[in-house]
Amino acid sequence: MNFYFALQYKRVKRLLKKSGINHFIALGIVLFLFVAISHFIFEKVIYAQYVYPIISLSLLNILGNVKRNEFLKNCYTVKKYKQIRLLENIVGAIPFVIYLLFKQEYITAILLLVISSLLSLFNKINSFQFVIPTPFYKNPYEFITGFRKTYVLFILSYTLTIISIYVGNFNLGIFALILIVLTCLNFYSKPEPKHLVWIHAQTPKLFINKKIKVAILYSFILILPIILSLSIINIEKAYLLVIFSVFGISTVVVSLLGKYAFYPSEINISQGMLISVSLIFPPITLIIIPILYIRSTQNLTHILHD
């Protein structure tokens, strides 16, 4: 079992090394972001004491991936496998538990630890039979696969929007919109195999333009229910929704262009920085987008043969 965890540590270190990030710096960034996001949730989100553990459990649910667990079962005895799963879930839940204790949410913290431990006994339901419908079937693939992998976050976002209207908390609605934007930009975090770009009989410009069009349209479709419902309730704040939507969708475009600007490499420190800067100071996307657009089209020339 020690070997398994040592191996996971090595894998993370290798991944960080490949991205050019020192692992101590990465740990610092992760800790900072974790505290910042946790703080934001407890400051801005209503019922944060419930939303927060749900986020934690949703993340732990990823460890219940069927193929991963089949592999682990093949490698280890039943006892060892259960120990690994339990330990992984506890380690994953501990940062959230600590923050809940810091917020004096003692019962929630204990419940989170117990449920996380119990969750280690279950794997994700194999969705062999059930195909989650999406409105994106005409233009595969990012939004189709992304939506199906993260549909829980969309349910959460729309639920938060309803709550925000019910309790009259506009900021909570904005948070739901931001959550969708963050989810959408994550659809472009992993580069597809070269073969799936190569199949396109298009120039790099045409290829990228089509991708941008789809990203804008589909992101808009996903945030539209939030924009409409919040606008009806708070028409005087509709301008804020427009601003957040425009910059949110621009960030999704930055993520898309970032992928192809550095393609076929995985997300690296430069790409991560660009997205982070765009999120912190959205107007900068006006400068970043043209730069990344030029770089993406140049980068794809050797695959698409302009």
Partner 1 sequence: MIKINSLNKSYGSKQILSNINLSFNEGEINGIVGENGAGKTTLFKCLASLEQYDGDIIYENGILKNVTGFLTTDPYILSKITGKEYLQLFCNARNVVIDNFDEINIFDLPLNQYADTYSTGMKKKLALTAILLQKNEVFILDEPFNGVDIQSNIVIKEVLLKLKELKKTVIISSHIFSTLNETCDYLHHLKNGRIIKSVAKNDFKSIEDDMKLTSVSYQIDKLNLI
Residues in the site for partner 1, rule: CB under 8 A?
Answer: 127-128, 131-132, 137-141, 144-145, 148-149, 192-196, 198-202, 302-303, 305
Name the minimum Å distance from CB 190 to partner 1: 10
**Measured CA angle at 305 (ends 299, 306), to 5 deg:** 85
**Nearer Cβ to partner 1, position 79 or 195?**
195
**Nearer Cβ to partner 1, position 13 or 194?**
194
User: What is residue 135's three-state secondary structure?
Assistant: coil
**Nearer Cβ to partner 1, position 64 or 95?**
64
d(CA 117, CA 134): 33
Name the minimum Å distance from CB 292 to partner 1: 22
Name the minimum Å distance from CB 139 to partner 1: 7
Name the minimum Å distance from CB 67 to partner 1: 9
**Nearer Cβ to partner 1, position 150 or 161?**
150
**Nearer Cβ to partner 1, position 103 or 200?**
200
Could you tell me if 194 and 262 are in contact, meaning their C-beta atoms sit under 8 angstroms apart? no
Name the minimum Å distance from CB 289 to partner 1: 24
**Coarse DSSP helix, strand, coil percentages of the chain, rounded to the nearest 5 percent:** 80, 0, 20
